[in-house]
Amino acid sequence: MKEVFPYADIIDLPHHKAEGRTHMSMYDRAAQFSPYAALVGYDEIIAETARLTDKMTDLPDHVREELDRKFMLLGAMTAEGYRPEVTITYFVPDKLKEGGSYESFTGEVKRVDTTFRRLIFYDREHDTAGKSVDIGMIVSAESEFFGEDTGAG
């Protein structure tokens, strides 16, 4: 019995080339099979979900009172024309999800705004008010004028 090969009649024919079209390069042919993002933005969503945020710490009353005392001292010093250098740690709420992160900043205090409860730092580069931080977000404040830090940071 003779073995039958289903494509025996075309196996040795030359490769067909369409008239009026150039042959596709190997690079373009390979690009057809390269992976693609079926769900555009999915990787960014996964990364954002995996990004960790901290929960804001509720300070005990005695720590909050000590911080308020420090801010009153800073207010009095700045009213007299002094610019004490202070290092603060404060909470920055995340713009995209619940929670946030803690940041530290060191600078010369220009004034304590008791109306809007903000600590305003001096910007040496522009000789103006610079960074402004909500006093309610500050968890610790350190300066040589305060002595030992009692904040929660």
Contact 146, 73 (CB under 8 A): yes
Predicted pLDDT of residue 37 = 66
How confident is the model over 30-65, as pLDDT tens digits?
A: 888 777 667 778 888 888 888 888 888 899 999 999
Contact 129, 118 (CB under 8 A): no
Predicted pLDDT of residue 1 = 54
Give how far Cα 73 sits from Cα of 78, 88, 106, 151, Å. Answer: 9, 15, 17, 15
The residue ranges of the chain whose pLDDT is under 70 are: 1-2, 36-37, 126-129, 147-153
Predicted pLDDT of residue 75 = 93
Predicted pLDDT of residue 70 = 95
Predicted pLDDT of residue 128 = 64
Predicted pLDDT of residue 153 = 47
Predicted pLDDT of residue 127 = 65
What DSSP string describes 105-149?
EEEEEEEEETTTTEEEEEETTTTEEEEEEEGGGEEEEE-TTT-S-
Predicted pLDDT of residue 142 = 94
